[in-house]
Amino acid sequence: MFILFGTKSKAKLVPDGRRGERRCGECNKRTTWVECVVKDSFNIFFVDVLDSTARCMRCTECGEDCAIEDWDRAQRRAQLDASQPSVTAASPRPQDSTPTPAALDVDKEFAALKQRLAQSKK
Ligand SMILES: [Zn+2]
């Protein structure tokens, strides 16, 4: 038997929805994102049998969309990144390549321990 089925995806702008600016991974620039309702439907012989709607944020430049929760998370991370440089500038971190005095002490202790072990074997 031959069954004709298909899927459709329609996005509708939420008139009084959220909007915001964010860097888009698709178009690789800072764009405006708007809240949309995306309706996915599954049909057999052109009759819709299943559909689901989801809210998402959509890039107005390329149409890339992402779940609202993901968008919020990315926004928060971007805010954190933006506020961090002032914190790190106030307390510069020592370079990782130079061993700290504590690490040197551990090396010395370890060498002493090895010596003690070698002596106890005799
Ligand atoms: Zn985009």
User: 3-state SS of the chain?
Assistant: CCCCEEEEEEEEECCCCCEEEEEECCCCEEEEEEEEEEEEEEEECCEEEEEEEEEEEEECCCCCEEEHHHHHHHHHHHHHHHHHHHHHHHCCCCCCCCCCHHHHHHHHHHHHHHHHHHHHHC
For 55-71, the pLDDT digits (tens) are 999 999 999 988 999 98
pTM above 0.85, yes or no: no
* CA 31 to centroid of ligand 1, rounded, Å: 7
* CA 41 to centroid of ligand 1, rounded, Å: 24
* CA 50 to centroid of ligand 1, rounded, Å: 29
Residue 81: predicted pLDDT = 86
Q: Given pLDDT bands bounded at 50, 70 and 90, which one contains residue 107?
A: confident
Q: Given pLDDT bands bounded at 50, 70 and 90, which one contains residue 104?
A: confident
* CA 16 to centroid of ligand 1, rounded, Å: 21
Rounded to an integer, what distance in angstroms lies between the CA atom of residue 32 and that of residue 61? 8
- Average per-residue pLDDT in the chain? 84
* CA 65 to centroid of ligand 1, rounded, Å: 8
